[in-house]
Chain A
Amino acid sequence: MKPIFRTRSRDRQARWFLLLTLPWLIGALFFHILPILAAGVLSFMDWRPPMPPTWTGMTHLNTAATDALLWRTLRNSAVYAAGSVPATVILGLILALLVDHRRQVSRFFPAIYFLPAAISGVATTLMWAWIFNPRYGLVNLALVRVGLQGPAWLQDERWAMPAMILIALWSAGSSTLVYLGALQNIPAELKEAAVLDGATWLKVLQCIVWPLISPATLYLFVANTIGSFQVFTPFYLLTQGGPDFSTLTLPLYIYLNAFSWGKMGYAALLALILFCVVFVLTAIQFRVAGRWVFYLGYSRH
């Protein structure tokens, strides 16, 4: 009788689980899965509302293959991700280590570091527009103080993307919080034992702290990489992809094609390309993760 009772109980639990997750499942179906499928179909069509879509077959794929601007957007997105993700993660780690080192003030600083994430993205973006103003901006005024003539950051093809990467560092506070959580979960006795054995601070960091926070690092790399390929607001508000397309990223290019240039079908294909790029990058990160991510108390064998 006992096993039967357990099965019934599990069935009931499963039913409740399904029931309670139903709103999310419905949302995922209607707002994620169906739109992705629709985008897949639409990418083989030409659609200029309100006219009905017309089947164009592989036309958009051929266009994409020869679209120099698409390749440029992919390169721009890759440069932005390569510049902003490691920098954000490293800065987040440094800030977390500093805060963790001074635990008595650790309630104050995490809040300060996380504050940018709580402020409207539009407001902070406009603030950065003034910080990078070529004549009156804080950055160039600071450079003048040290005898340097700053560039027209957001209007100069060579400096616009580096400026956008610098702006991305503003959100390093989120990484700090994640790292802080990971750091505070490291058993103190492990570090104490290492110190008693004569390990230096750097050695403790290298051999104990870094392996134990590696799951957090993996999470941050995956989440920030996905986020960096999807970022839209600062590029839309500050540069609109210019100058000379030097900051035109894939999400902005999708938006322009769909809503400004009336090319819904091509935009749908671009959205699928973005999905594939993010999917492949995430898969690679997880694949490589097995070599360097360490889970405390978990063994593969």
Chain B
Amino acid sequence: MCIHRRQLPFFAFSLLSVMLISSCSSPSVGGAPAGPVRLRVGVSLTPQELATYQVAIKTLDDQHPEWEIILENTPQSGIIETITAQLAGNDLPDVVRLQGLMAQQWIRQSAFMDLNSRIEMSAMDLHDFYPGPLEQFVWQDHYFGLPDTAAPDVVFYNKDLFDQAGLPYPTDEWTYPQMRDAAILLTRDSSGHNPTHPAFDPGRIEVWGWNGGLTFFWQRHLVQAFGADFCKNPDCTQMNFTDPAVLDAVDWWASLVSQDHAALYDPFGGSQTGIPGDPFLSGNAAMGYNGYFAVGQLNQSGNFNYDIVQPFVALDGKRYTPLSTNGYVISAASEHPDEAWNLVSALLDAEFLATTWGKPGHSVPARRSVAASAVNLDHPPANQQAILEAMEYGVVFKPYTASAFEVYARTTDLFVQAMKGDLPVEEAMRQAELAANEILARDR
């Protein structure tokens, strides 16, 4: 049968329509698929973490023929954007591993499943979880996720730089004034002078004693150390930057940066050191707070001579430090909630946490029973016990509601200007408080 020329447009149109419709339709038309349930798991891991995680997931997959786990990794810099787009498109994976700091904004939008009844029915012992990481996934006494790992900030110090300055190493008992005295003596310019020397040139500093001043509002622990607090209410949706105690604390840090020249105002941008990234890792800072993940980075770099101590003792005798946490949530729109819960339970199993996170040194498991698996004295730092101690009193970053990231974007430059001395501390904090409370009002 031949096609008449006049019929050609009709056939071409039909062909195009069929192609268009077939490209838009679902591949699994016609009833529920038999066999294992496909569970999508969204993660955001470094290449090293992903290598370990993929092996662990494959093992788990083999042990559970009822599942087929589809792993979806997103680069860490784009995770908020990815999850927002997935939620907007109703395409969130069944299980998502995300940073605790990001969880609350979506928990409060009903994006994740309430896990209370499932936790009650299971044998899961919540007392085994550290309280800080657990809090990150709770809202109105309901659990919307469970943490798997956490990383408290502790003080890292470069032993070689202390040796060169002829100073004793920090200890777990150090206070902030002790840190300041040491930081000034550790700072040196290209001629080797420290800030106490008359010929010291602040324009040619090569090593800073302390890595970073108080450069953004999530560094709440740096003011708590002086008896002040940025947060006015429990979930920190009302902030207080102009309280006299806060101003004194911010001033303490600003003078360390702009008067003593012993700390950086741009700790990661590279405008001062010339090397974007962590100045401690590049040997341009002698001390600084960092998370457990820095251990892996430092050890990979070879013969970096360093150790850690607990966060410095505050004026009230306590210690304050932030916890970076990660955990699992289940999409409220998941079509396989039971299987997803079983998978989350398996991912939070003590043995799984130890082999996937603790022993490879990626992170500290958020469960007390296996947290020590992250301790490996075959490699530095020697004082790894400091991390386990800090897990007990570390608290999560606040505020953590939806608008917190906008507050961060809108106020960080004000903190930096205060540190640099470009803007008086009082004025910078007044502007920051005004902006922060106006934005956070949406979340109250």
| Residues of A participating in the B interface, judged by any CB pair closer than 8 Å | 15-16, 19, 22-23, 26, 47-51, 69, 129, 133-136, 152, 154-156, 241-245, 256, 258-264
Contact = CB atoms under 8 A, between A and B. Distances in A.
A24 to B, nearest CB: 12
B104 to A, nearest CB: 12
B409 A256 contact: yes
B413 interface: yes
Contact of B12 (A19, A136, A156): A19
B171 interface: no
Interface residues of B, number: 38
B405 A261 contact: yes
A47 B12 CA distance: 41
Nearest to A130: B276
A26 B17 CA distance: 11
A133 B111 CA distance: 42
Given A50-B333, A51-B110, A133-B274, A16 B9 contact: yes
A158 to B, nearest CB: 12
Given A50-B90, A50-B111, A22 B84 contact: no
A134 B272 CA distance: 8
A244 B411 CA distance: 9
B187 to A, nearest CB: 17
Contacts of A47: 88
Interface of B: 9, 12-13, 16, 20, 80-81, 84-85, 87-88, 90, 92, 105, 109-111, 266, 269-276, 332-333, 402-403, 405-406, 409-410, 412-413, 416-417
8 contacts: A49-B109, A50-B110, A69-B410, A244-B413, A258-B84, A260-B405, A261-B405, A262-B84
A26 B88 contact: no
Contacts of A51: 109-110
Nearest to B407: A261
Contacts of A50: 87-88, 90, 92, 109-111, 332-333
A134 B90 contact: no
A19 B405 contact: no
A259 B80 contact: yes
A294 B89 CA distance: 49
Given A48-B402, A49-B109, A260-B409, A19 B332 contact: no
A15 B9 contact: yes
Contact of B403 (A69, A134, A156, A261): A261
